[in-house]
A and B are shown apart, each in its own frame.
Chain A
Amino acid sequence: MKSLYRHFVKAATLFLLVLMAFSLSLPSRLFFVKGSNEASLIEEAESKLHVAFEAVLEAESVGANVSGLIARLNEAGELLAEAEIADKIGSFSEAVSKAEQCSVLADGVMDEAITLKGEVLAGAQIAFWQDLTVTAMGSAVFLVAMFFVWGWFKRAYAKKLLRMKLEVASDVEA
């Protein structure tokens, strides 16, 4: 009976020790997971903001009006800055929330920038062909008109030359 009791006490003590060790390691492990999680969320938000900005730059380079997108990028940038500051001062939940909001905004901006670029490119292609047609037609009509005017002018010039009379000046010194 005594040995059974001793075994029970030993087992209970061992269990308690294991439980204590686990509980001691738990907060730091949780903290670590939490810290790394919010850091990766901030990194993800930052990366998404970079990609969104690059998409906006591409849309701008083809001639799109990106003022609205820039305003929204500024909102996203503000959220990311707040997330980084919150992370710095240890306010992890706020950092996570701001980083997530930033990611959502950046994704939206990127999608819109890609759509806008497509629309502008399609419009620009139509405008280019229209301009090219106007240029080709206009130049051709103008050159043909110039050719006819030149022909008419040449004839008029020849007629004028033929109508001219020879005049001899007697007092001209050679």
Chain B
Amino acid sequence: MLKLEDYRTVFASVGLIGVLLFASPTLGLVLHLPSGEKFSELWVLGPGHMAEDYPFNVGADVNYLVYVGVGNHMGCSAYYVVYVKFRNQSESLPNATAGTTSPLPPLFEFRLFVEDGKSWEAPLRFSFSNVSFFGDRCLVGSLMINGVTFNVDKSASWDVENNGYYYQLFMELWIYNVESRAFEFHNRFVGLWLNMTSV
């Protein structure tokens, strides 16, 4: 048989647990548990919303379609800008290690607001025009993105190793920082390698 002091301890414990249970709705309003890792996702999908059938061998006056997506896991709603840029092999990409963006000017941009735990996706239609080849060089005159034509005048030289004139259409993810009240590069970028094959 237990002693009276042992029963007292049991009663005190039950009383404490009961009080905590009664206080749990109020405690829930006051106490906030730490959230998990904060991050954002940036992706490009092929025309079938799958990670396949990406355009690679491209030509002039042909329409191509991919989907750009952003996922928010920042713990609150976020304001993003996705900059679409176009480069040849000699121009620089963003540096993920240093967290620096590409110095190339953006051609197209998406401005989007995404709630925490949700994602956003939009089509990116593009085509090339005024493409010319001379010697071992290829010149792309214009790039149309979602119906807007940009004069790019970008040349690429023949890549001997990979047999092609390579360009890259890439997207950078920028996020609005409420404290600094400015956009900053979010250190996320994805790109599509494109081999210009025909006029």
> Which of A8-16, A72-80, A165-173 faces chain B?
A72-80
Kindly report which residue of chain B lies nearest to residue A58, judged by CB atoms. Answer: B178
Contact B113 A78 (CB under 8 A): no
Q: How many residues of B contact A (CB 8 A)?
A: 32
Whether the Cβ atoms of A61 and B76 lie closer than 8 Å is yes
- The answer to whether B7 touches A135, judged by C-beta atoms less than 8 angstroms apart, is no
The distance in angstroms between the C-alpha atoms of A56 and B149, with both chains bound, is: 34
- Interfacial chain A residues near B111, Cβ < 8 Å: 49, 77-78, 80-81
A128's nearest neighbour on chain B, judged by CB, is B29
Contacting residues, chain A, for B53 (C-beta < 8 A): none
Q: Using CB atoms, name the residue of chain A closest to B22.
A: A138
Instruction: Name the residue among A73, A127, A135, A153 with the largest chain B CB count within 10 angstroms.
Output: A135
Which one of A54, A67, A74, A138 contacts B178 once the chains associate, using CB atoms below 8 Å? Answer: A54
Q: Is the CB of A139 within 8 A of B150?
A: no
Chain A residue contacts of B18, Cβ below 8 A: 139, 142-143, 146
Say if the beta carbon of A132 comes within 8 Å of chain B: yes
Q: Mark B1-28, 1 if CB is under 8 A from A, else 0.
A: 0001001100100110011001101100
With an 8 A cutoff between CB atoms, is B181 at the interface? Answer: yes
Contact assessment for A84 and B176 in the assembled complex, using a CB-CB cutoff below 8 Å: no
Interface of B: prevailing SS: mixed
Q: With contacts A70-B77, A70-B113, A77-B113 known, is A50 near B181, CB below 8 A? A: yes
Interface of A is mostly: helix
Tally of contact residues, A, Cβ under 8 A? 38
Bound together, the chains give a CA A74 to CA B115 distance in angstroms of: 11
Interface residue A134 (Cβ < 8 Å from any Cβ of B): yes
Tell me, yes or no, whether A150 is within 8 Å of chain B by CB: yes
Are the CB atoms of A74 and B26 closer together than 8 Å? no
Contact B176 A67 (CB under 8 A): no
Bound form: Cα–Cα A153–B4 in Å = 10
Determine the chain A residues whose CB is within 8 A of the CB of B76 once the complex forms. 57, 60-61
Give chain A nearest CB distance to B25 CB in angstroms.
5
Q: Which of B108, B112, B148, B176 contacts A74 (CB 8 A)?
A: B112
> Which 6 A-B residue pairings sit nearest by Cβ, starting from the closest?
A77-B111, A138-B22, A73-B113, A131-B26, A131-B25, A81-B111
